[in-house]
Amino acid sequence: MTDVPDGGCAAAADARVLLIRHGDEILAFENRCLHKDTPLHEGHLTDAILACPLHHWRYELPSGRLVGHSVGLPRVPIQTDGGRIRVIPPEEPPASISALLRDHARTWSRTDNSSRDTSAGPYGVASSSSAEETSP
């Protein structure tokens, strides 16, 4: 059994679930920062913003959305019965943004890049023996 302090958060279900008391409501999310999977129950909660304890990514409440982005913390279903909460923990945690980017980079590096144009802009290149400034 877990107590959720007023205006605070707590971990439940072997720390896989983040519970937040937000006003009269209990919110439940997966307890993993979207950045590097850091548990968020030790984050800083102020004015309906939860900040990750590691690199301070910020999540809006009650949505759990990453501030300034359309992605957010996955919700975890709960059932309330009087003063008790029953948490239904996630079975398979989704990948963090870091893991998704790593997978994307692996896929990208396996594709045929031989015809990809990697030049950018109308910039001249100066050799070290005849350095001169160029303008676009």
Binding residues among 73-132 for ligand FES as defined by CB under 6 A: none
Residue 35 within binding range of ligand FES, rule CB under 6 A: yes
Tokens for 49?
């913003």
The Cα 31–Cα 42 span in angstroms is 10
| The binder of ligand FES chosen from 16, 36, 65, 75 (CB under 6 A) | 36
Of 11, 16, 26, 38, which one interacts with ligand FES (CB under 6 A)? Answer: 38
Nearer to ligand FES, 28 or 50 (CB): 50
Q: Which of 2, 25, 55, 71 binds ligand FES (CB under 6 A)?
A: 55
Supply 29's token pair.
């999310």
Region near ligand FES per CB under 6 A, out of 8-16, 51-59, 76-84, 125-133: 51-59
* Cis preceding linkage at 62, omega within 30: yes
Cα atoms in the Cβ-side hemisphere of radius 13 Å centred on 45: 20
33 sits near ligand FES (criterion: CB under 6 A) = yes
Three-class DSSP category at 38: coil
Pure H helices in the chain: 97-110
Judged by CB, which is closer to ligand FES: 99, or 126? 99
